[in-house]
Structure formats: structure tokens, C-alpha cells
Amino acid sequence: MNLKEQLAALQKELLGIQAKAKSEKRDFTDEELTEIEAKGTEITALKTRIERIEASEKALADVVEFGKSEEVAEDNPDGFKDIPLGERFMKSEPYKAFQKAHPSGVGQGTPINIGTVRIGSMKDFFVNRKAVTSPQAFVQNVRVPMVDLVDRPRLSLLDLISRGQTAGNFEYVQVTAVTRNAKIVPEATSGTDANALKPVSEITTALADAKVYTYADGYDVTNQLLADAPAFATYMDQELRYSLDAVIEDKLLNGTGVSGEPKGILNTTGVQEQEYTGTAPIDLVKAIRRGITKVTLLQGGTVQAVLINPEDDEEIDLMQDANERFYGQGPFGQGPATLWGRPRVVSEAIEPGQFILGDFRQIALLDREGLSVQAFNQHKDYAQRNMTYVRAELRAAQVIWKPSRLVVGSRTV
């Protein structure tokens, strides 16, 4: 019997007690009053559980459905709409020409040089990512008497940032701090009335460069795999994500700004800092809460998520109370991973004990030339080994509009 059936049965029993007393034209007996009170308490508890379950199921349904109706970006240079990225390479004219030239496969020492194929824009690369404003990011921690079988995609830094386009390198004004002095101004009583002066807010800025960089990675495949279009398309769909995601995320966080690298969050002037001591997980959790306050003290400051190292994520999951009960979902739950109501996002690109939080929309990755793929075996001794080098590239610029809306936390010795 499910909860709603239990609720209906209890309500029926109460109606039976009421009908019996009414038919006998009498008041409730002491035993009936005790039974009514007990069943009333049980009904209230059941209603609360049912409402929580229904709310959770709705939130989970929103997570599953979110993004399904999103269309693939329309700026597709070769009519590849709704086609996976790997399959786009297989359907391109350079690859078709390669297949036509080698109908029986690729032999030992065959020269391979498949020209550059633009398989889409940065929008296509990010099309299946969930925005941080989705219900996935803000589902509340609710324990319900059911097995949670929903497979929630893990959020990453690339799901949090803004995305756009650029025509090339440019300079921009980076807002590092804002002092707001807005107030009500009374009517002047004289020409020297200082109280009637209009206020002036102060904005501290810095001139920053947004340069286009090439984010690239490559991997080795056999000539046989390259000639097998369906298998290679599947392989590319997976490897493109792993290859480029890693380098983009690392440069967004750790880019030095010199030697041909963009400047990442950890090397940007104006980002707030939150230091803390102690090695226990609770010390990190408390420091994150203090960091949230630093952002919310800024007018309009919001914290969308908290970025932490996988090791710290593990320690937070394993936190227990004095009775050895897990604070979080425990080993048998798959509930939303949050800290102080904000999504916990894991990144291997930051150190254990370090965290970053704030309004990640202030970081933008701007597409310049889209995503392209090249395949060739004029690399090392690959022609002798029947191997091919496949390289994926994305040209883009990264900017940080308002560094003060971000907080970097670190543990001090």
C-alpha cells in the first residue's frame, strides 16, 4: 500500500467514526477522541511526506527534461544541424575524399593528410551543457522514502561561465571594485548647502586585454579506425569533450597571462581572497560561507556555485555527526550536491584546500573561429606504424568582466 492509499484508508476510518456518532445522535467517546487525534496526527505526517515527494519528483522531472528541446546552434557552416560533432567530420568533403581515395582501407606507409574541417562553432561544442540557472543546480536537499535512480550530469566550470563571440583581439574595461554612494538628496536651502550635493559613486577599473588563443589537443588513432567512419565518429564525440574541456578549464583557472597563455581567475587582479586555517572539512565549509558573504555584501552580488577539488568533495561527503550519521546523502543517495544552498562543482584544476565561488557569469569564453579537426600521419614515425594524429582546435578569447564578484579561498599553514 503506497502513501496515498494509506492516507485514503485513514480518512475513510475517520469518516466511519464520524458517521457512527452521527447516526447514534451522540458526541464522540473518549476512545473515539483518542483515535481521532492519533489518526489526525498520522494523516498530517502522511500529507507532508506526499507533498515533499511530489515536489521532489517535479524537480527531478525538470532536471531530466531541461535542455531536451534546445536546438543546435544555427551558425553551422556546412549544414550539419542536429548531427553529432564526430559524425560531422565523417560527413565532411575532405573525409569523403579520403575514403574515396582509399576504398580498401589504408595500407602501410600511406601518406594521410585530411585537410582542416570546421565542424561547428563553440555554440555547437557547448550545446548540451546545462546552464547553472537550471533546476539541476538548485534542487533542494530533500530526503524521501524512495530509491533515487535519476542520473544527474555532473556540472563543471564550463557549465557556469558565459559564452559569446568575438571578431578578434580587443581591450576592455575590467571593473575591479565599486563604491556605491547613492542617497536621497534634499532640496538646497542655500548656495552653500553641502547636504544638497548630488552623490558620486566610484568605480575602480583596469584596462585588460582579451586575446584570441588556440585551445588544442590531439590523440593517436590507428589507420583502420580512421577508415571506419561510424566507429571513429563515436570515438571523436567522446574524445573531443575530454580533450578540449580539460585545456579550456585549466586556462580559465590557471592561465598565467604570459608566454602565450590567457590570464585565468587565479592570476587576475581584483579577485577577492578568503584565507582560513585548519585541515578538517568543516574548516573549509565555514570558509566557503564567509566567502559567500564577501560576494553578497556587494550590491547585486550573487553566488551561483562553489568550485572545489575532488579530494575536498570526498571529505565533505564523508562528514559525520557524533552518532556517525552522514551529514549529506550518505552512500546510498544521489541527491543534489550543494554547499550552503549553492551547487558544488568539482575541478581537478585547483588544489586541495582551495575553492572558488561567486558569479561565474562574469567569466566569458568568446568564440573566434569555431571548432576544427585535422588528421595526418606526417608526424614522428606514424607512417611506418600505421598511425594517424588527429588534432582538434578551438580559437577563442576569455575575459573576466568583474573580478570582484569572485572569491578565491585558500588554506594557510
Mind listing the pLDDT tens digit for each residue in 121-150? Answer: 666 666 555 544 444 444 444 444 444 444
Q: What is the pLDDT of residue 91?
A: 73
Q: Which band of pLDDT confidence, cut at 50, 70 and 90, is reported for residue 151? A: very low
Q: What is the pLDDT of residue 109?
A: 56
> What is the rounded distance in angstroms from the CA atom of residue 123 to the CA atom of residue 119?
11
Q: Which band of pLDDT confidence, cut at 50, 70 and 90, is reported for residue 355? A: very high
pLDDT reading at 351 higher than 90: yes
> What is the rounded distance in angstroms from the CA atom of residue 243 to the CA atom of residue 220?
12
Highest mean pLDDT among 34-38, 51-55, 186-190, 193-197: 34-38
**Residue 189: what residue type?**
T
pLDDT above 70 coverage of the chain, percent: 77
pLDDT reading at 406 higher than 80: yes
- DSSP letter, residue 28: P
Pick 81 or 241 by higher pLDDT: 241
Q: What is the pLDDT of residue 182?
A: 67
Q: What is the pLDDT of residue 135?
A: 44
What mean pLDDT value characterizes the chain?
79
Q: What is the pLDDT of residue 129?
A: 56
Region of 314 (left: φ > 0; alpha: ψ -120 to 50; beta: rest) is alpha
> What is the rounded distance in angstroms from the CA atom of residue 207 to the CA atom of residue 89?
40
pLDDT reading at 111 higher than 70: no
What tens digit of pLDDT does each residue of 189-234 get? 777 777 777 777 677 788 888 899 988 888 788 888 887 777 877 7
Number of H helices, E strands in the chain: 12, 13
Pick 39 or 107 by higher pLDDT: 39
Q: Which residues contact 187 (CB under 8 A, 6 or more apart)?
A: 196
- State the average pLDDT over residues 59-63: 60
Cβ distance 336 to 139 under 8 Å?
yes
pLDDT reading at 70 higher than 50: no
Q: For residue 84, give the nearest of 234, 283, 192, 231 by alpha carbon.
A: 234
Q: What is the pLDDT of residue 106?
A: 58
- DSSP letter, residue 170: E
What tens digit of pLDDT does each residue of 252-305 get? 999 988 888 899 999 998 899 999 998 899 999 999 999 999 898 886 788 999
Secondary structure (DSSP) of 257-319: SSTT--B-GGG-TT-EEEEE--SSHHHHHHHHHHHHHHHHTSTT----EEEE-HHHHHHHHT-
φ, ψ for residue 394, nearest 5 deg: -135, 120
Where exactly are the structural domains of the chain? 3-52, 79-167+212-411
Q: Which of 43-52, 233-242, 276-285, 336-345 has the lowest mean pLDDT?
A: 233-242
Q: What is the pLDDT of residue 47?
A: 87
* Residue range 79-167+212-411 in CATH 3.30.2320.10: yes
Q: What are 16's three cell numbers?
A: 466511519
